[in-house]
Structure 1
Amino acid sequence: MLLTGCISVSCILFIPIEVSSASTRDPANFFSKKEIFSDQGERNQTIFQINDAAIDKQFKTVSSLENKKTLNEAPFLELEIIADSQYWEGDNLFVAEGNVKALLENAILQADKIQINKSKKIILATGNVSFRKGSQYFSANRFEYDLVNKLGTMNDVYGVIDVKLIPKDLNLYKSKGKKENSISAEDNQLREIKLEDGFIIQGGFSSEMENIEKSKLENNSINKWRIKASKILLENDLWKAQKVSFTNDPFNPAQTKIDSYEVEVKVIKDVEKKVIITAKKSYLIVEDKFKLPIGNRKFVSGKEKEKNWVLGFDGTNKDGLFIGRQLRPIQLSDSYKLFMQPQYLIQRSIKGETDAYPVRGGTILSKKVSASTNYSDLFGLEAQLQGSILNWDNNFEADISTFNNERFANGARYSGDFKKKFNFAKVKDLEAVLFGLYRYQIWNGSLGSSDIYTAYGARIDKEGKWANKKKKFEYNVSTSFGTYQGENLAKTGLIELLRVGIISEFDIKYPLNIYNNKDKNRNKITVYSPRPIEPGFSIDTNIISSYFNYENGNNQSSFEIGLGPSLTIGSFTRNYLDYTKLSLMPSITFKGGDSPFAFDNINDLAKLKVNLSQQLIGPIVIKNIYHVNIDSDSSNYGKTISWKSGIILQRRSYEIGLSYDFKNQSGGFNFRLNGFNYKGNPLSF
């Protein structure tokens, strides 16, 4: 992903095609020439038209009429060269010197000196070489390319690239549309920095424990990189570098970078112009202090095809600590990919026994007991199948905690769905979902964990958000019907019933301005935070309503409203206690009727949710989310509904976190590289 942008710039810029000419002997017919004026005085402008259909590989002379016809019909690359001085050395070598600018289709190439060898078809740029187009930028001290043999080199390369926009930005052929003149020769000022994406490695880590609010990730990848390489070799459709360094951090000194060795980049000539990038070994370097081997790397067009280790904790299903290896996806067909994460259950292996399954021969509701393990109990698997068919997106997931035949049925959980967006009348972006579940684990407040043993059905979802002056609104609405099999609430056993219902959730955030807008540290990205910290006070409202009707005649309705303050203080710039985020959300629920199931019966009618994030020292932040029953008339009064705690090492370009869910006895590890979008080209790292 990194190296693609840098090398693609030079490849597409100097695409190996022939130079148009009415005569190969007369350099005057090689270009058209006119004078322009600037504040530096008179300078020459030379226009080269490079066209692969104008002359064959033997450079035979063609007639002026034929050449003109070819030029009119074939697409061509037009190169305008502006310099303090331009001249020919003999009939074959064109030289431009002094503040040389080569203007292409909405792009600019600059150098101290550019030479074009007409007979050898070699282009050489030396001295302060730089290239800019759209979101792509690179600099070097020397660039040379042989148009005939398709070989080239770049020395001392530094670049800023945006993987998503490479196909658009690096199309250098002359377009039929209006030419844009928005290229700035000097664009080194870093500005408009936004946290936009990122790459996450995690196992069992709760997304609620993230300290800084993140946007939704696409493909779990980073699109904008800064890169460095001492030398890059270009060989037709293959590019090589002995070492490439890249960083996701837009600031210097860079907090994280990756050094990759024996890097190869290969273009796949299909409609999407995909690129495969491989490195035989790579190291993640953190703060220029810690160097961690991360193995061989493989990327395809900016989408990570990584192998990663994950660490997690699951005390309910896997007897504690486990380690997993995320394998590269398997392409089963044009539409389907299989993702697999084999796991080794460390704590179960050390204990030599398991507490996660019922007694042998017991029913599905039998109490879990301790039992010895064998080799097949020590391994698990998380798998995911993604694809599409008939314009429906499919997702199937499996979580297997044992391969012991006697326990497999009680150690496997499955879920799957088919999704499709559609519009109905004036309502847009509705989503239809067909779903199926087997042993799907769900948490129902102070009642604890329960399983939906089987379920299948359909639902229609709609979500949205908008802002009105200061207020921010978000909503989710879902209507569903399906057949569910779950634990009976009233007595021991399973029941299977049709359930039809609707549930909606509405959030309102109303900020109150109590801080001085002139605070110099406000709205700045710091060494500790990838987003500006915005001190403030707001009143948050959460409204949830639902109605469900069951096949046996039962129905359950509810209306829940929560209202509470949210406070953020500090700027996260100092080393001690300079960031606090606290929110309190008491809520009350009005309920009618009961569900026959244990998994969805509403039990906690008065609740308090406390969410606290606090910087301790430097990048170390602790976070707690505590939810408790405060209904004095309930038998569960004072009982914890949920309790999650985490410790996070928060830095601008990366984040490391450990979290634990005390009620669900699960936890995990999270490592995140933050991805930024920005304007300007910061200096080399």
Structure 2
Amino acid sequence: MGKKLDRYMARRTWKAAQYLLLLSYYSIDISLRPVLAGSVAPLPSVNSTPAAKSSPLTYTIVQNGPEVPPTTNISAPSGKIELDAQQQEFDNNTQIITASGKVVVRFNKALLTADRLRVNLLTKIATADGSVTLVRGKQILYGTQFEYNFEDDLGSIVEARGDIYQPTLVRDLNLVSPASVPTPAGEKPFTEILLSDRLRNDQPVTNIRNPGSVGINTSERDIDFQPTLRPTGGTVTRLRFQADKVDFTGDRVIAEKIRITNDPFSPPELQVKADRAEFKTINSEEDEILTRNARITVENSFDIPLSPIFRDRVLINRLGKSPNPFNFGFDGQDRGGFFIENAFYPVFDPRFKLTITPQYFVQRAVTGLSFFDPASFGVKTNIEGNLSPNTTLLASAALAGLNFDKISDNFRGQVAVRQNLNLFEYPHVFTAEASYRQRVFNGSLRDQNIQSSIGAVLASPYIPVGNTGASFNYQLGAQAINANTDRQNLLGANRTNDLVSLNRYQASANLGKSFKLWEGQGLPPNQKETYNYSPTPVIPYLQLNTGIQGAINSYSNGENQPVIGYYVGIQGQFGNFSKQTFDYTGFNLTYFQQFRGTSSPFLFDRIVDNRILSAGINQQISGPFRLGIQSSINLDSGQQISTDYYLEYSRRTYNVILRYNPALQLGSIGFRLNDFNWDGITPSF
């Protein structure tokens, strides 16, 4: 049975759902904004929909009954919606529309299904109940009852839950006409999606994917040639939420007993809870969230309170500002160990971001200095500017101590302009950069400082070599460098340091290929047991990695450092990481040898490790606990270059890594939150 209603009710009904989606979207930020900073797309204002021209509401019965004359006692914007139901009635005296039995309402690229729908044209109240589902694009909202006053902009949703897909959130919430919103490539147009019976059936969650993760870490350093142990960057694209009740008005949304998670399974491993959460738009850039008793529930067994850290009132900037009152980190060399910091944003818009972050060096103050000694305080700044669609400005500076008599020893800075280029049909990056006191790890020579450097580098992507399965990349560079040397002939007799200034011209290339030696069987997908301790099904494999690389550095004093080398290694994993004990072993073993001609006059880029053996193992001990070690050794001298010991707690939704490197005297704690996408309807929490 088809009926036509006016777009006015459609716009107001969807606006209520829009508020709920925005509330759930920002509630997760109470706990996750530190790892989401910089990854959230700007959202449209929920109050920005312009008023449309009024026109009479029209309602017509087209089947199973006489045609009812159009009513004219309500004004509404132009536009139509469609209502289908097995049974429907219209009372001309009470002006009440009643529909029941597989009710389907289509409006403005959205769809509402329910068991029953009642619309009072006099009170302007619409009520849907019995397995209510509201879909727009990839955003899905469920509830047992949906009531909305489309004149006073008031309403409520009982037993609300739903899914949020952040990459298309802005497009899905766009209230422009469907024809003006393009459909992404590979996605079916809205009119082709089966939306009635399919939404009512509890389709199991299928096709679970792990597109990435987001992470934070207390250490800012990694060793260039070792596999990284710390998670960085990324975003969470898919969330699901549940609330006992949601009330909404024209400018705010209030949710009672709300729960939010990134876990597609129930009960969730990790979820954010709040007894009450209130969302309000303050202006075009900022939103406010008020919470009561906010906490993170881990493994459905214990809670971590959020209020002492993230406060009960949080201001969210849609451009990605962190709401945290402070963050923490560890730097054993420049900052004396553990420190805390707080970021401020004097300039923060889509094209230019300036961040100023004061720091307090807690460990330095406790162990050696007074709490108010200037050396216990520091500051860092970061600049990111989009000069054009293909040009980016990046700059950073750090002052590890406000004792200005040692400012030359405490200051580090770098500025770079990156230009994306399309050369030989491949994307290249051209970078012009300058730095002061840049810290570089150089194998057995440990940390070296480049006192100053200015120059440019052109870097290629990995380029496939025909259909061979091999790929190569190259890099070209030129810099004017001032750095430490041990060449006495380059140092003056009355010198005060070991610095020398030379120009360096560099060219390097790498050619590599991997061979899959064996691949085992993974567990069936879409079973919860498959994802006990991993965000993806673990498939056993054995792989051989090979490659050759070469480089030539030429210096303005006439010296050169040519080098050519090769590497061969094997890596793999056994087990599916699903059983309780010893169901996973990951390993890698690589031999690297290089042949050097004359050596560099500088220490920071001098080749001293000619034969390197790198090995690592990661072993499940019990449940989510894994122990690991990754080490590199100079085979000629027997000297340990670097060794990382780490303990890992791995679950499908999150991961915690404790890392210690005795050679570099570095320690860190890393946290990763895994992202998921899925098909089907997620179950109740």
TM-score by length of structure 2 reads 0.81
Query: Could you tell me which residue of structure 2 aligns to residue 529 of structure 1?
Result: 534
**Distance between the aligned counterparts of 2:114 and 2:482, measured in 1?**
72
**Distance between the aligned counterparts of 1:47 and 1:108, measured in 2?**
25
- Which of 100, 105, 110 is equivalent to 1:102? 105
**Distance between the aligned counterparts of 2:51 and 2:127, measured in 1?**
14
- State how 1:102-501 maps to structure 2 within 5 Å: 102-171=105-174, 174-176=177-179, 180-182=191-193, 183=195, 184-185=198-199, 186=201, 188-204=203-219, 217-218=233-234, 221-260=235-274, 262-266=276-280, 276=287, 278-280=289-291, 282-294=294-306, 295-296=310-311, 297-301=314-318, 303=320, 305-307=322-324, 310-320=327-337, 322-327=338-343, 329-332=345-348, 335-352=351-368, 375-391=373-389, 392-424=391-423, 426-464=424-462, 475-491=472-488, 493-501=498-506
Identity score, percent: 23
**Distance between the aligned counterparts of 1:393 and 1:339, measured in 2?**
16
Distance 1:48 1:539, change over 3 A: farther
SS in 2 for 1:407: helix
How far off its partner does 1:334 sit? 5.6
- Which of 85, 88, 99 is equivalent to 2:87? 85
Distance 1:608 1:394, change over 3 A: same
**Distance between the aligned counterparts of 1:483 and 1:47, measured in 2?**
84
- Which of 543, 548, 553 is equivalent to 1:543? 548
Read off the aligned partner of 1:286 and give its amino acid letter: V
Query: Could you tell me which residue of structure 1 aligns to residue 62 of structure 2?
Result: 34
Read off the aligned partner of 1:599 and give its amino acid letter: F
How far off its partner does 1:234 sit? 2.0
Task: Render the CA deviation track for 1:89-111: whole Å, top value 9, x for unaligned.
Answer: 23411110122111234542111
Distance 1:679 1:331, change over 3 A: farther
**Distance between the aligned counterparts of 2:416 and 2:244, measured in 1?**
49
**Distance between the aligned counterparts of 1:332 and 1:303, measured in 2?**
9
Read off the aligned partner of 2:250 and give its amino acid letter: N
**Distance between the aligned counterparts of 2:552 and 2:528, measured in 1?**
43
How far off its partner does 1:210 sit? 8.1
> Mean alpha-carbon deviation: is it higher for 138-147 or for 524-533?
524-533
Task: Render the CA deviation track for 1:623-654: whole Å, top value 9, x for unaligned.
Answer: 221111113xxxxx101122122111111111
**Distance between the aligned counterparts of 1:285 and 1:405, measured in 2?**
46
**Distance between the aligned counterparts of 1:250 and 1:627, measured in 2?**
39
**Distance between the aligned counterparts of 1:237 and 1:651, measured in 2?**
39
Read off the aligned partner of 1:287 and give its amino acid letter: E
Distance 1:602 1:192, change over 3 A: same
**Distance between the aligned counterparts of 1:128 and 1:468, measured in 2?**
55
SS in 2 for 1:165: helix
Contact kept, 8 Å, 1:44 with 1:82, in 2: the verdict is no
Distance 1:597 1:524, change over 3 A: farther
Contact kept, 8 Å, 2:523 with 2:537, in 1: the verdict is no
- Which of 12, 19, 22 is equivalent to 1:4? 22
Contact kept, 8 Å, 2:591 with 2:614, in 1: the verdict is yes
**Distance between the aligned counterparts of 2:395 and 2:302, measured in 1?**
38
Contact kept, 8 Å, 2:319 with 2:349, in 1: the verdict is no
How far off its partner does 1:538 sit? 0.4
**Distance between the aligned counterparts of 2:267 and 2:509, measured in 1?**
47
**Distance between the aligned counterparts of 2:485 and 2:229, measured in 1?**
40
Query: Could you tell me which residue of structure 1 aligns to residue 183 of structure 2?
Result: none
**Distance between the aligned counterparts of 1:467 and 1:252, measured in 2?**
46
Read off the aligned partner of 2:244 and give its amino acid letter: S
**Distance between the aligned counterparts of 2:372 and 2:23, measured in 1?**
51
> Mean alpha-carbon deviation: is it higher for 120-129 or for 245-254?
120-129
Read off the aligned partner of 2:322 and give its amino acid letter: K
**Distance between the aligned counterparts of 2:130 and 2:227, measured in 1?**
46
Read off the aligned partner of 1:188 and give its amino acid letter: Q
Read off the aligned partner of 1:489 and give its amino acid letter: D
Distance 1:520 1:255, change over 3 A: closer
How far off its partner does 1:683 sit? 0.6
How far off its partner does 1:257 sit? 0.6
Read off the aligned partner of 2:361 and give its amino acid letter: L
How far off its partner does 1:569 sit? 0.5
SS in 2 for 1:176: helix
Whichever structure has more strand as a proportion of its residues is 1
Contact kept, 8 Å, 2:282 with 2:288, in 1: the verdict is no
**Distance between the aligned counterparts of 1:591 and 1:46, measured in 2?**
91
SS in 1 for 2:363: helix
SS in 2 for 1:31: coil
Query: Could you tell me which residue of structure 2 aligns to residue 511 of structure 1?
Result: 516
Task: Render the CA deviation track for 1:546-603: whole Å, top value 9, x for unaligned.
Answer: 1111111111121121101112011111222211111100011022222111000111
SS in 1 for 2:508: strand
- Which of 556, 560, 566 is equivalent to 1:561? 566
TM-score by length of structure 1 reads 0.81
Read off the aligned partner of 2:534 and give its amino acid letter: S
**Distance between the aligned counterparts of 2:68 and 2:362, measured in 1?**
68
Contact kept, 8 Å, 2:358 with 2:380, in 1: the verdict is yes
Contact kept, 8 Å, 1:97 with 1:114, in 2: the verdict is yes
Unpaired segments ≥5 residues, structure 1: 25-29, 36-42, 61-70, 354-371, 632-636
Contact kept, 8 Å, 1:324 with 1:341, in 2: the verdict is no
Query: Could you tell me which residue of structure 2 aligns to residue 639 of structure 1?
Result: 639
**Distance between the aligned counterparts of 2:405 and 2:259, measured in 1?**
51
**Distance between the aligned counterparts of 2:53 and 2:146, measured in 1?**
19
Contact kept, 8 Å, 2:319 with 2:350, in 1: the verdict is no
**Distance between the aligned counterparts of 2:435 and 2:568, measured in 1?**
34
How far off its partner does 1:132 sit? 2.2
**Distance between the aligned counterparts of 1:269 and 1:318, measured in 2?**
38
Contact kept, 8 Å, 2:571 with 2:587, in 1: the verdict is yes
SS in 1 for 2:535: coil
**Distance between the aligned counterparts of 1:47 and 1:166, measured in 2?**
39
Distance 1:134 1:522, change over 3 A: closer
**Distance between the aligned counterparts of 1:373 and 1:174, measured in 2?**
61
**Distance between the aligned counterparts of 1:558 and 1:640, measured in 2?**
22
CA RMSD across the alignment = 3.7
Query: Could you tell me which residue of structure 2 aligns to residue 356 of structure 1?
Result: none
- Which of 557, 569, 588 is equivalent to 2:593? 588
Query: Could you tell me which residue of structure 2 aligns to residue 625 of structure 1?
Result: 630
Instruction: Count residues in correspondence.
Output: 619
How far off its partner does 1:394 sit? 1.6
How far off its partner does 1:378 sit? 1.7
Distance 1:97 1:333, change over 3 A: closer
**Distance between the aligned counterparts of 2:297 and 2:581, measured in 1?**
26
**Distance between the aligned counterparts of 2:425 and 2:65, measured in 1?**
59
**Distance between the aligned counterparts of 1:606 and 1:587, measured in 2?**
6
Read off the aligned partner of 1:288 and give its amino acid letter: N
